Amino acid sequence: MNSVLQQLFMMPAFRKGILECPKATDDSLKLLQFMKTIFTNLKNNKGEAYNASQLCKLITDFDGQHLSPYEQRDADEFFNLLVDRLEDDLRVVNCQNLIKDTFGGTFSNEFVCKECGNISSVKEEFIALNLQIHNKKSVTESLSAFVTSEQLTGNNAYHCDRCSRKVEAEKFISLGILPNVLIIALKRFEYSIQMKYSQSLTLVV
Amino acid sequence: MRKKLNDYFEFPLELNLEQYSQKSIRKRQVLEKLRTGTIESELTGEERALLKLRIPQDYYVYKLCGVIIHKGTANYGHYVSIAVDRESGSQWYEFNDSFVEHFSLDQLPAEAFGRADKSNNAYMLVYERTTFFEMPAVRKVLEELKTEDDGVRASEKFEELKVDYGKFFDVRAAEEVEKELSNEDERNRQLKVVINANLIDLINTICKNCKYSKQDDYKLVKSLNLQRVPFSSEITEHKEYVRQLEKLQFAGIYLLTVVLRITLKSQYFELLRPLRAAAQQDTGFSVWLLETFAHPYILQEFFVDCPNSKSRFVVASLLHAAFLNVYEHEKERIKKYSTNYLKFLAKLQSKTSIKPFEFPNETATAKKALFIEQPKQGLPYCIVFVYNLFTLMPRVLESTFAVPQYFFLLSTICKKRPLITNFLLENKLFGCLVEILQETIGESVVEVTKKNFIIPSKEPSLGFQSVMAEKSKASHDFNTSSLRAKCYRFIVELFFLVLPN
């Protein structure tokens, strides 16, 4: 958690955005106030005069539970949660675009129909790019893999709106809007189901 | 099963995203179309726009600004942050919990790129453009590209959307936070001055060096204006005794107004011991205590409404000791007042002015309270104290902080002191206890609140700065059964003290 907050503090644009957004009329925007206090502390060289449990109480995860300071949490998971909850507070004081304007970008999913040539694109928002590291040696390699095209045929055939039926199509993913601050999360953690299966197999025998 | 991949994965200090961007890829496709035979007039409006679109390189070029490094395994790990100070542009730092160190980029591959046999590697990367763009405007510009003109216009517009990065270094601080921090600083500074081990030691020593004699100095004490500190400058006789009394007063005021208001642990009892001994043995000190706490608002501030149980205990302890001492001196006088008390009270009400009394934090019950000034020769301090203490009962039940200590104090005062219990009975103050037991809280308790407080006419030397912000929030509803049970137990005990008489 410290690492994420430290990185956020070190971004002048984000820091300025948080410190300068107006105060709520009542005391209800606790997470925002917390961020302001931390940033002010850090700015005045007061160091980390906060404790993790304070922050945990201010953030609920997607199940609605408060974070536990004892639980290991992935930095990128925490980043997503923090930013999501912060946006709620920011909305109240009309600063809701801070997150989107700083970190927000889009993917562009484009489908090119092989029959009629119609291109339809779907945009998806992101605040961080998740890149595969499996079998990749660098960011550029991973990005290239991300942006390659995919053939949609057979079972994966695409439904073209103009042709009104399933057709062969080519799918391109690319980066649409590029944010001012690009956060890249590397997929270093994997859930391996394989091990589970192999265990149960030996039991059967 | 969660697994961590420690594989080697490198990332550049500078990253150009042009080849991955949708506009760029589409543009390349269009150029390819033209190259492979498509004529320009066959192109769609969108394709024509793309050909005309020129996006500055600044939009695509990013610099590495921060890395979050993970050290350890999938389940047990530690994060470390490295980041560059954007203002200098080149000084990198490593942040490891509360430690900050310079970081050299030479170490980056070793620390962050990873290797199958190493557990530390980069987990999150932070890249920033060297020139920022106004993103809402950029989104608009890139959306509406349907004609050739759109493309031209967009290219022109793009240059205007650059933002000077320097302006981000000029931050108008969050005023309210800065203020709070400087207030906190100020408070901490004050605390350091005021809660000082040396000071407490000094006060401790002073108290321990006090000598108490068995003389009956009650009359002397009554002649002094104890609420005015210092008072020794006016005294010509008994200077030594009076100066000692002032020292004890100072220690008492320090304990009550400073130590008890700040939650400290061991310092409480250091000072309590010698001061309790003083209250038990020194008439002047115990009279001063009782006289001060005879003021209902002092009782309320320091005892009834105090949210800290240790503080309440200390206060109750001191008052108990003081009461015992003063009682011994006042027994005879109390007898005189007890028997004729009701008549006396009636006389008092008709003669003296009754003014409305305002508690520092007014409640509905307190608003109804009136007070009577003491007659010139003064009622016994014990009586005034017990009377006002009892009359605060509705307030106690309302804020519920002090319930145990309050009833404990009442019962220890009443124990084996028929004079006191008779006084309370004669004044019909016990009626409300019955009401509470019968759970008709409100009727007789309201009656009690209609009783007048007796205010010693002098301004108390303690004063009452309301530093305890929590007291305005009542802690529990009286109707929680455990609280009620506690009350009932105390009340029944009180009854048993009274009945045999």
The pLDDT tens digits for B314-337 are 889 899 999 998 898 888 877 776
Residue position matching structure tokens 């906060």: A50
Instruction: Please name the member of A46, A181, A187 whose beta carbon is closest to the beta carbon of B128.
Output: A181
Which of B177, B182, B183 to probe by mutation at the A interface, max A CB count within 10 Å?
Answer: B177
pTM: predicted TM-score of the whole model, two decimal places: 0.59
- How far apart CA B402 and CA B219 sit, in angstroms, is 34
Q: List, for residues B220-234, the tens digit of each pLDDT value.
A: 787 777 777 666 666
Which of A180, A183, A187, A194 to probe by mutation at the B interface, max B CB count within 10 Å?
Answer: A180
pLDDT at A99: 92
CB contact under 8 A, B123 and A97: no
Residues in chain A, pLDDT under 50: 195-205
User: CB-based burial of residue B277 (10 Å sphere; 0-12 exposed, 13-18 middle, 19+ buried)?
Assistant: middle
Average pLDDT, chain B: 77
The residue of chain A nearest to residue B74, with distances taken between CA atoms, is: A189
B 67-126 → A contacts, CB under 8 A: 68, 70, 74-77, 79-81, 83-87, 95, 97-98, 121-126
The residue of chain B nearest to residue A9, with distances taken between CA atoms, is: B83
pLDDT at A201: 39
Specify the 3-state DSSP secondary structure of A19. Answer: helix
* Tokens describing residue B343: 């008549």
CB contact under 8 A, A7 and B124: yes
A 106-125 → B contacts, CB under 8 A: 108, 110, 121
Q: List, for residues B140-164, the tens digit of each pLDDT value.
A: 888 878 888 888 888 888 888 998 8
Check if the beta carbon of residue A87 is closer than 8 Å to that of residue A137: no
Averaged pLDDT for residues B458-468: 55
3-state secondary structure string, B437-470?
Answer: HCCCCCHHHHHHHHCCEEECCCCCCCCCCCCCHH
Averaged pLDDT for residues B55-82: 90
Q: Closest Cα to residue A49, out of A34, A70, A31?
A: A34
Write down the ipTM of this complex.
0.87
Q: List, for residues B262-274, the tens digit of each pLDDT value.
A: 655 556 567 888 8
pLDDT at B136: 92
